[in-house]
A and B are shown apart, each in its own frame.
Chain A
């Protein structure tokens, strides 16, 4: 009797003998394999083959099922099995696989419907196995091992392709209010559940209970000079430096940032600027929106901690700028300059035409010069109150831009360091009451941010971190800000009457509005990137999500 090996519909071993299908039920101690008739449980006809499955050594009982042996069905089954075995080969399209199989069969009893059914089974099988195969091709990276090469930033983890996540039992910032609503995310984008309900007619695949947390868009920090001991303007390996900071600030709720370079030499810029590319965030760190070049075209009197010898002018216009920064400015998002410098209007216009946002700061400009800069295209004021002329009632200086009638009402935006140290709370309140729309929270953090209390050496200087202040050792001179973004938001809410929503918007929607990226970041609107954070009522960060994936969670620490 000829024994043909095949599979049952479920995938278990089976044989076809004389047109009857027998499924395997048992392997004996001596290696023989027992099969019984697979038509029904009542039919007790069984065959036993040797361990190779070639010969039938025993046959028991008679068929009690009324089945007629059907050659056609047996062949159809064999075709199905052969096609299924070929699902491993994903290069070939299913249609090609079917065709190649059919050419092998000459005279057969197969009908068209058998062929159709078999190919349908192949499609089903492939679809089911597609996801597991993709995972085996691209193994998911271990979260703690941060491989500092081209990461899968921005790409959705293969296993979560197409799955719909519903975050419920939470409060969202929507339309300027804190409302109780659910957040739906799919493939790293915030989606509209109403459309999914009526158009696609499917429900959420995964429901996450947020236990009453507040959900808002991830924080955006447009001015940060370094952190965790790393200084962007002073490093040999800028890529590692940026990645380390990008990873660390996830814990502060920052999902996108602009690494800031202070006044440096031309060679530093040419080394650093081409190497820091704009990229999406991932579990390896926050996304990079572009570099913020703070200097060297600033005022010598208001240079703050910048190196006086490296300060430049652009008397030859844009060519001086590209001589220092380099020709390719595609990685640059923001440039801070002093508008009182000659030819600043022209330089501002040229930078803006290249898609770069211009900010005025580190300057002794008066209000007229500031207005001219804004009317030429500048849209930001770097750390309001700091490194500019103080407010005077007959010449408000750059601070007067907040209420100037000679500039459009929706510009400029202004950064504030709301750590309670660099800006007095009363000054913060004045700025808030005067122009709440334009307030953008920045950290302007230095390398000591994120480091523990005590002394730290940086080059030739020793810094001392005492509480929330970083001073030069032995003095009271501030070195710079070490506040984290979530601390800035908490301080803003505490110091002003702005309330939770406005405090959070100052760190999310306003910076996104300034950078012109509100279509992707800074809000929880439908269609934007799913970069969001979970906060408790004290505005402490509970978890950070980028592209719908949880990249940091407080629970990991506890």
Chain B
């Protein structure tokens, strides 16, 4: 596991965006060789999306040969509802970039046959050659996507009923009214994300500190589903100072010392200078 500790939310977003950009450029996607990216929703990745759009507008990054797979979507919410994850992804990301519409995959929460929809999603991931880089966030209860505590660590894409904590956390998007939040969601499973060749988890804010501690300093436990990534061969956790509040000083110092090496993963001094992108 790599743990990249940055000063604040803005720096985390920048670092994560640069990492994604570097990975896509190094992969050098083409018409017969697409880069598959897994994408999250929520407030944490917003800054990362903004930065990626900046890179695109500066001409440094193209999404023409990138396929994306989103993690989750509410069940029963109309696709054009302002809080649906389709609307979120369109307004905050797809609208501003040059991704081809048929390559942006999001689970359909209004599909008549939910199980078929989940199986089709898994099949589409497999057909595109598996996910190269899966970006995700973490819930305050340590869940990845909507894999609530108690979800199997080898689960696949399926429908999940949301627990009260998650509904409370999401109520702020529905005018604070818990009754308006959908009760069920389609989500990729922990196993689905583990199948990705690389996983990057973004964690910012003090309210996620306990979840981060349980995820990387305690054992693998289905009550904190993000801990499953301790068993992934290539995982990166990107967090800000506030999120490290529950970590051991030893852990934090160890990984902070490694930051010079981690920064080499994102910096591309030659191209950045040409395209005018600031280095971290």
Which residues of A come within 8 Å of B, CB atoms?
A: 182, 192-198, 200-203
Are A194 and B87 in contact (CB-based, < 8 A)?
A: yes
Are A195 and B80 in contact (CB-based, < 8 A)?
A: yes
A183 nearest CB across to chain B (Å): 13
Q: Is B101 an interface residue (CB 8 A)?
A: yes
The A-contacting residues of B in range 70-99, CB under 8 angstroms, are 79-80, 86-87, 90-91, 94-95
- Please classify the interface of chain A as helix (H, G, I), strand (E, B), loop, or mixed, using the class held by over half of its residues: helix
Of all chain A residues, which has the CB nearest B87?
A194
Are A194 and B86 in contact (CB-based, < 8 A)?
A: yes
Q: Is B167 an interface residue (CB 8 A)?
A: no
Are A198 and B102 in contact (CB-based, < 8 A)?
A: no
Shortest Cβ-Cβ A-B pairs, 4 listed: A201-B101, A201-B102, A194-B90, A197-B101
B193 nearest CB across to chain A (Å): 23
Q: Is B28 an interface residue (CB 8 A)?
A: no
CB-CB < 8 A to B94: which residues of A? 197
Query: In the complex, A202→B103 CA distance in Å?
Result: 10
Q: A198: which of B79, B91, B100 is its contact (CB, 8 Å)?
A: B79
Are B95 and A193 in contact (CB-based, < 8 A)?
A: yes
Query: In the complex, A1→B104 CA distance in Å?
Result: 58
1/0 per residue, CB under 8 A from A, across B100-134: the answer is: 11101010000000000000000000000000000
Q: A203: which of B91, B101, B106 is its contact (CB, 8 Å)?
A: B101
Query: In the complex, A196→B94 CA distance in Å?
Result: 12
Query: In the complex, A203→B63 CA distance in Å?
Result: 13
A199 nearest CB across to chain B (Å): 8
A118 nearest CB across to chain B (Å): 30
B194 nearest CB across to chain A (Å): 28
CB-CB < 8 A to B95: which residues of A? 182, 193-194, 197
Are B101 and A202 in contact (CB-based, < 8 A)?
A: yes
Interface CB pairs A-B, < 8 A, 15:
A182-B95, A193-B90, A194-B80, A194-B86, A194-B91, A195-B80, A196-B101, A197-B90, A197-B101, A197-B104, A198-B79, A198-B90, A198-B106, A203-B100, A203-B101
Query: In the complex, A182→B95 CA distance in Å?
Result: 9
CB-CB < 8 A to A200: which residues of B? 101
CB-CB < 8 A to A203: which residues of B? 100-101
How many B residues are at the interface, by size bracket? 10 to 19
B70 nearest CB across to chain A (Å): 11
Other than A193-B95, A198-B101, A201-B101, give 7 A-B pairs with Cβ distance below 8 A.
Answer: A193-B90, A194-B86, A194-B91, A197-B95, A197-B104, A198-B79, A198-B86
Query: In the complex, A200→B104 CA distance in Å?
Result: 12
CB-CB < 8 A to B101: which residues of A? 196-198, 200-203
Query: In the complex, A472→B11 CA distance in Å?
Result: 71
CB-CB < 8 A to B80: which residues of A? 192, 194-195
1/0 per residue, CB under 8 A from A, across B180-197: the answer is: 000000000000000000
The A-contacting residues of B in range 111-162, CB under 8 angstroms, are none
Query: In the complex, A201→B101 CA distance in Å?
Result: 5
Query: In the complex, A198→B101 CA distance in Å?
Result: 7
Of all chain A residues, which has the CB nearest B102?
A201
B186 nearest CB across to chain A (Å): 15
CB-CB < 8 A to B100: which residues of A? 203
A318 nearest CB across to chain B (Å): 46
CB-CB < 8 A to A201: which residues of B? 101-102
Query: In the complex, A196→B90 CA distance in Å?
Result: 11
Q: Of B101, B102, B104, B106, which is in contact with the most chain A CB atoms at under 10 Å from its CB?
A: B101
B165 nearest CB across to chain A (Å): 30
Query: In the complex, A201→B100 CA distance in Å?
Result: 8
CB-CB < 8 A to A202: which residues of B? 101
A502 nearest CB across to chain B (Å): 25
Q: Of A192, A194, A195, A201, which is in contact with the most chain B CB atoms at under 10 Å from its CB?
A: A194
Query: In the complex, A74→B203 CA distance in Å?
Result: 67
CB-CB < 8 A to B106: which residues of A? 198
A27 nearest CB across to chain B (Å): 39
Of all chain A residues, which has the CB nearest B103?
A201
Of all chain A residues, which has the CB nearest B101?
A201
CB-CB < 8 A to A193: which residues of B? 90, 95
Query: In the complex, A201→B102 CA distance in Å?
Result: 5
Of all chain B residues, which has the CB nearest A198?
B86
CB-CB < 8 A to A194: which residues of B? 80, 86-87, 90-91, 95
A186 nearest CB across to chain B (Å): 14
Of all chain A residues, which has the CB nearest B106?
A198
A206 nearest CB across to chain B (Å): 15
Query: In the complex, A192→B80 CA distance in Å?
Result: 10
Of all chain B residues, which has the CB nearest A200?
B101
CB-CB < 8 A to B90: which residues of A? 193-194, 197-198
Of all chain B residues, which has the CB nearest A202?
B101
1/0 per residue, CB under 8 A from A, across B12-38: the answer is: 000000000000000000000000000
Query: In the complex, A234→B139 CA distance in Å?
Result: 75
Query: In the complex, A197→B106 CA distance in Å?
Result: 12
A29 nearest CB across to chain B (Å): 45
Query: In the complex, A197→B94 CA distance in Å?
Result: 9
Q: Of A182, A196, A197, A202, which is in contact with the most chain B CB atoms at under 10 Å from its CB?
A: A197
Of all chain A residues, which has the CB nearest B98?
A203
Query: In the complex, A198→B79 CA distance in Å?
Result: 9
Of all chain B residues, which has the CB nearest A182?
B95
CB-CB < 8 A to A195: which residues of B? 80
Query: In the complex, A424→B104 CA distance in Å?
Result: 57
B101 nearest CB across to chain A (Å): 4
Query: In the complex, A197→B93 CA distance in Å?
Result: 12
B128 nearest CB across to chain A (Å): 15
CB-CB < 8 A to B104: which residues of A? 197-198
CB-CB < 8 A to B79: which residues of A? 198
CB-CB < 8 A to A196: which residues of B? 101
Query: In the complex, A201→B106 CA distance in Å?
Result: 12
CB-CB < 8 A to A192: which residues of B? 80
A486 nearest CB across to chain B (Å): 31
A31 nearest CB across to chain B (Å): 46
